[in-house]
Amino acid sequence: MINYALDLGQTAKPEAVMFYILAPLAVISAIGMLTVKKAVHSAILLAWVMITLAIFYIAQDAAFLGIVQVVVYTGAVMMLFLFILMLVGVDSSESLTETIKGLRWIAITASLGFGGLIISLLGRATLGRQSIGLVDANSNGNVEGLAQLIFSDYVWPFEVVSALLITAALGAMVLAHHERTVKRATQREQSQARFRSGSLAAAAGLPGPGVFALHNAVDVPALLPDGTPAPTSISATLKARGDMLDSAQYQLDNNDNVAEDK
Amino acid sequence: MNSANYLYLSALLFTIGAVGVVIRRNAIVVFMCVELMLNAANLSLVTFSRINGNLDGQIVAFFTMVVAACEVVVGLAIIVTIYRSRRSASVDDANLLKR
């Protein structure tokens, strides 16, 4: 058993050092991805895992795939994820409470079994076999070797994959497209609707933030003439994010009191 | 020289991704976990290519990347479409077929 454990640790020197530094970091950030609450943090951690994998690819004589991993995954795919996170916006952080009771523990137990199974199988299947290495296969260069294969043995899958890419692009366009069901209101119609909506106060437009308060900023609600804050003067997004400041501390009479105390 | 370490790492990452798919409820995070699983599989393909001394494994990993890119594009488009109609990106809220 001890020999078995020692055998696991044998990797060539510089590569081993790199592996034992980066692999735990990759695993930790992958676990962190599951446990952090905000989706943006998950995305950053996943980007780090992908960069680590790119380094591993390059270390394993797959230079082309390493570069493609950085360009396609950490570049394009993660950028797309962040894009969608920004679109989907404020409520993208989720509550981590479970809806199905006990699901989390069942999942963790099942995954421990699954992971243990794969790892023990791998240990039995590959240990004791020397890896051949890619020195021969890469003798003309990694990119040349791959190109030779793609355009000879794998030319048919390559064509099919190109058809798949086009289909995916079309599919995304069809899904993202949406037709206007009602005509866009003109400026004239908008102003008529404002005046006919009942309250004349709304017809004049919403108040700007910070007006009549001693602090003039977008996150401070305006004060109405009677001293109460006007919630309509703040952008709904700021309100939902909880970034709204309380305007009471900026009220005029409050400040006068402070001055008198001094 | 033992390349098996990469395979163990790949198995670990795949398992973590699978747990994430089950326990997270935000559709985008679930999707990122699927990406993690695909990446883990790619790492094992690259390692197998090195163990066997030919480039076929790398070719397959390359194709996996292309398929993953397509999957991300269509999947995110679906998430945006669902978000547009249901105002939520949680996988629990898309239960219209149940009612």
> Other C-beta atoms within 10 Å of A161: how many?
17
Q: List chain B residues with CB under 8 Å of A9.
A: 5
Q: What is the pLDDT of residue B85?
A: 81
Q: CB neighbours of A191 closer than 8 A, spacing ≥ 6?
A: none
- Closest among A169, A173, A149, A43 to B69, alpha carbons compared: A169
Q: What is the pLDDT of residue A30?
A: 95
Chain A CB within 8 Å of residue B15 CB: yes
Count of A–B CB contacts within 8 Å? 242
Of A34, A61, A111, the CB nearest to B24: A34
Specify the range with the lowest mean pLDDT, choosing from A109-118, A220-229, B31-40, B58-67. Answer: A220-229
Chain A CB within 8 Å of residue B86 CB: no
pLDDT digits (tens, 9 = 90+) for B77-93: 988 888 888 777 777 77
pLDDT digits (tens, 9 = 90+) for A42-95: 999 999 999 999 999 999 989 999 999 999 989 899 999 998 888 886 555 566
Nearest-CA distance from B47 to chain A in Å?
Answer: 7
Q: Do A60 and B3 touch (CB under 8 A)?
A: yes
Chain A CB within 8 Å of residue B55 CB: yes
Q: List chain B residues with CB under 8 Å of A172.
A: 73-74, 76-77
- Which pLDDT band holds residue A146 (cuts at 50, 70, 90)? very high
Q: What is the pLDDT of residue A256?
A: 53
Task: Kindly report the pTM of this predicted structure.
Answer: 0.77
pLDDT digits (tens, 9 = 90+) for A161-176: 999 999 999 999 998 8
A10 has pLDDT over 60: no
Predicted-complex ipTM score: 0.92
In three-state secondary structure terms, A229 is strand
